[in-house]
Structure 1
Amino acid sequence: MTTATRASSARPSVVVLLLSLYFAQGLPYGFFTTALPVVLRQSGYSLVAISATGILFAPWALKVLWAPLVDRTGTRRRWVVAMQIATATVALVLACVDLGASTAPLFVGVALINVFAATQDVATDGIAVTALDTRGRGLGNGIQVGAYRVGMIAGGGGLLWLYSIADWRALFVAMAVLVVLTTIPVLWFRDTASPVRREDAAASPVTWARRLARPGVLALVGLVAAYKFGSAMGSALIGPFLSDQGLTLREIALLDGAVSSGAAVAGAAVGGVLAFRLGRVTALLVGGVAQSVALVAFVVAAGGGGVGVIVVATVAEHVCGGIATVAVFALMMDSAEKAFAGTDYTLLACAVVVVQGVAGFAAGVVGDVFGYVTLYASAAILSALGCAVMLRGLRSGRGPDRLHEVLHPAAVR
């Protein structure tokens, strides 16, 4: 390992920075996906109305449209600070609004915070790609998945608990304070202007389309989609499955919330170590096989395995899914060129969001028509096939040249 590699892999300031920023992303997401639906339900909203609020998360799927602007304008550090301050400001404004009179300001605030958080994500991913070397990205993505999950726990269960003993104002003030605190490490991070050539900076606003058209990118999108589809299909209906198996809301909240989030953090840590020490391909193999086996456990659980099997299957799915997610996210970072790091990574991240949406719909159709046993058996088979497709594709040279330059053993010595 070279001196440069050692320095890049071991910079504590980068680790603290990524921990803070990915936690900051998970915080509002956890609140809006876990706590907010409960609060709205208690306020008399129908399930249809609550589910319709999912449109407020559209910025996470659309962020690729403005990712090139983040890459080629100013520095990523400034973008992060600006988005963090904007998020905290909106939270403080919501704390001052009487949400009992109308929830319209709440929905506007949710939409704005999602725009700011999605934009912060583009800049943060760009920082991670440029600040970490090839080996370090394995640990970096372990940090990403783990810190994001911890943020979701704090934003979901933590802020919901605060709401139960206080009110809206205390909840949003706490959110604002936490976001500001996570901004502090950014102030010590030194970033330079995005190193984009002059002709690139003057490119068309649809630079993202040009990045997508690069040789090998669509092939990589296909490999990532194949790898993620089965696992996304299997995880989409875990909540309804637990409910249909007779678990109470409190038991579901404990198992599919706190316990599973902790399991996912553990999986992210294992995935980070595997990607760091054994390389990307080995981590992808271990993660892909592990998540397929975890889905087989759900087949047993759906066939009448009992509560014990249900608990084992749920925890295993989150641990194994964490391993696989870290491995594939590290691969996505490997494919990004530093000048367009945010855009390149965001393209693949948005593809993952689309795959998860399609897989979730497919899970609903298969589950409704054929039942849970067939659903989880299909998911396990597709997950295993997707892993095989990914590994075969990488070995045959599929994907951008940048990816295979990074994966070559000489690049990480």
Structure 2
Amino acid sequence: MRGNAGLATILLGLYAAQSVTGSMVQTALPVVLRDAGVPLDRIGFLSLLFLPWVFKMLWAPLVDRFASPRIWILSCQGLLCLCFLLAAAFSPVDGLASLTPVLFAMAAIAATQDIATDAAGIHATGPENRVLASGASTVGGYLGFLIGGGIWLWTYAQYGWVPSMMVLALVMLLLALPVAQLNLPAVPARRGEASLLRSLGNRTLLAGIGFLILWQAGIRLGGAMAGPMLVDAGLDLEAIAWLRGAGGMVVGLAAAVVGTFAVRRFGKVAVLVLAGALALASLAGLVWWSLRPGPVPVLAALQIALMSATAISFVALYAAMMDWCAPDQAATDFALLQSLDAAIAVVTGILAGQMAEAWGYAPVFALAGVFLLLALPFTRARLDRKAIAAPLPPLPATESPT
């Protein structure tokens, strides 16, 4: 495949593959466990399975230094396929203790593939078409969300655990096929010297971290208890699978496409402000519904609106994050940002579970809105910054690039 369309197609498939595992654990498995009567506070601790995404920055320099993104990606997808086959031996309800280490290994492998895919996207695009990579990331993420959160949940509800794992193993195998067509430009000369120390010398990268914490805390907290809330509202597994799977995919895909074109036309700042306003309105509605429960379709509409705002915001935010990264250690810089994002997901997931179990859902959505309100004033100052404005620490003259 050649050209922007071919590159976008390959990146879309790769981002879908790596998000399958996360979406299954984050959105579908909590629904299964809640349906089996597992308390909300225990479900919240599933967020600990995202620790590999939190700490992936520690081994990201290895992806920058050794082999090619293609080799890393193919190796990871092959291992994920094997992990899904292994996971078929353990039931999530009766054998959760045995299944957890397998899920943790899958998370570590998917996080490593994420590092390599992000590096491929950054190297293959420039500031003028970076939204192509961020758009593919968002659309691919929602495709993975459909597979891991919707199709998987429907398969599990219809046929059980083992067939659902077999389906995901086959999906991982099919999504690996286009990687053979992945062509990337030559890597920058200093790529072999990538390190977290140099990332910490990137002042633009550090300046964006405060904004990222506030923004993603609001987004992550707002969506953490969405699935269990639908169960408590009376929906069965099949209905939730269609709503959060097919419905979420259609809405997320449409929002990501709109967000991609909007960023190209109006810029990252305007699009993120618009997404923030939509998210705040959705969160306010969810607070109201939690305090005064009404028709379930209204709850579903509010959750879909929040999904739309999330998808639109990711296109703009991820394009800015890619701009903050130094070209010669793109995997390391971007992994640092995503590790922070994953840490936010872990903390907000646990916090949301504890708050919802103790006080109900309304305080969770209210706190999410507070975080977004605190982030909005800093949008222009942080999203318009470029990594080229932040010089990196010099390397010792005796070291040669690899």
Partner of 2:192: 201
For the Cα contact (< 8 Å) 1:229–1:359, is it kept in 2? yes
Matched, 1:83 2:85: no
TM-score between both structures, scaled by the size of structure 2? 0.82
SS of the residue aligned with 1:11? helix
Partner of 1:176: 169
Change (3 A) 1:118 1:388: same
Q: Superposition pairs for residues 154-303 of structure 1, below 5 Å?
A: 154-166=147-159, 168-191=161-184, 194-197=187-190, 201=192, 207-242=195-230, 246-250=233-237, 251-303=239-291
Q: Superposition pairs for residues 304-319 of structure 1, below 5 Å?
A: 304=292, 306-307=294-295, 308-319=297-308
How far residue 146 of structure 1 moved from its aligned partner, in angstroms, is 2.0
1:262 is aligned with what amino acid? V
How far residue 65 of structure 1 moved from its aligned partner, in angstroms, is 0.7
Change (3 A) 1:261 1:209: farther
Change (3 A) 1:164 1:143: same
SS of the residue aligned with 2:119? helix
Q: Superposition pairs for residues 100-139 of structure 1, below 5 Å?
A: 106-139=99-132
Distance 2:82 2:247 in 1: 32
Partner of 2:333: 344
TM-score between both structures, scaled by the size of structure 1? 0.80
Distance 1:211 1:185 in 2: 31
How far residue 110 of structure 1 moved from its aligned partner, in angstroms, is 2.0
For the Cα contact (< 8 Å) 2:204–2:324, is it kept in 1? no
Partner of 1:409: none
Distance 2:286 2:374 in 1: 18
For the Cα contact (< 8 Å) 2:41–2:357, is it kept in 1? no
Matched, 1:70 2:57: no
For the Cα contact (< 8 Å) 1:76–1:193, is it kept in 2? no
Distance 2:136 2:378 in 1: 27
Choose which of 342, 355, 368 in structure 1 pairs with 2:344.
355
For the Cα contact (< 8 Å) 1:31–1:156, is it kept in 2? yes
Cα offsets for 1:17-75 (capped at 9, x unmatched): 11111111122333334444566678897777665554333211111110110011111
Residue ranges of structure 1 left out of the alignment (5+ in a row): 1-6, 405-413
Matched, 1:61 2:54: yes
Matched, 1:31 2:20: no
For the Cα contact (< 8 Å) 1:336–1:402, is it kept in 2? no
User: Aligned residues, how many?
Assistant: 388
Distance 1:39 1:376 in 2: 23
For the Cα contact (< 8 Å) 2:26–2:46, is it kept in 1? no
Partner of 1:411: none
Higher mean C-alpha displacement, 132-141 vs 318-327? 132-141
Cα offsets for 1:103-124 (capped at 9, x unmatched): 6664333222222111010000
SS of the residue aligned with 1:134? coil
2:248 is aligned with what amino acid? S
RMSD: 3.5
Identity %: 30
How far residue 212 of structure 1 moved from its aligned partner, in angstroms, is 2.5
Matched, 1:320 2:309: yes
Higher mean C-alpha displacement, 75-84 vs 370-379? 370-379
How far residue 16 of structure 1 moved from its aligned partner, in angstroms, is 1.4
Cα offsets for 1:103-160 (capped at 9, x unmatched): 6664333222222111010000011111123243223222212222222222233234
For the Cα contact (< 8 Å) 1:81–1:183, is it kept in 2? yes
Higher mean C-alpha displacement, 25-34 vs 319-328? 25-34
Q: Superposition pairs for residues 1-40 of structure 1, below 5 Å?
A: 10-37=3-30
Distance 2:300 2:365 in 1: 15
Distance 1:383 1:183 in 2: 37
Partner of 1:379: 368
For the Cα contact (< 8 Å) 2:272–2:316, is it kept in 1? yes
SS of the residue aligned with 2:67? coil
For the Cα contact (< 8 Å) 2:31–2:227, is it kept in 1? no
Higher mean C-alpha displacement, 232-241 vs 12-21? 232-241
Higher mean C-alpha displacement, 149-158 vs 180-189? 149-158
Change (3 A) 1:288 1:402: farther
Change (3 A) 1:193 1:170: farther
How far residue 93 of structure 1 moved from its aligned partner, in angstroms, is 4.5
How far residue 183 of structure 1 moved from its aligned partner, in angstroms, is 1.2
Distance 2:25 2:150 in 1: 11
2:265 is aligned with what amino acid? R
2:183 is aligned with what amino acid? R
Residue ranges of structure 2 left out of the alignment (5+ in a row): 392-402
Distance 1:40 1:292 in 2: 29
